Amino acid sequence: MENKKKFLRAEDVSEVLEVSVPMAYKIIRRLNDELNTMGYITVSGRVSRSFFESKFYGTLSA
């Protein structure tokens, strides 16, 4: 995961947060639900890296 992908998959989220893949899918679903509420289009099973980092680390990545 060294390269800076724009979108993270469940396996990436699982690795970063040290949780199971099924838990990573639940987290992605929750984040995507929030993005949908804000009017963004999302892709199932993937989440924007910048949104993910803003929710877990409190800052947007460049």
Q: Please provide residue 7's backbone torsions phi and psi, each rounded to the nearest 5 degrees.
A: -125, 140
d(CA 36, CA 12): 21
pLDDT band of residue 62 (cuts 50, 70, 90) is: very low
Higher pLDDT, 62 or 35: 35
57 contacts 17 by C-beta, under 8 angstroms: no
46 contacts 9 by C-beta, under 8 angstroms: yes
**Prediction pTM value:** 0.84
Express each pLDDT in 11-59 by its tens digit. Answer: 999 999 999 999 999 999 999 999 999 999 999 999 999 999 999 886 5
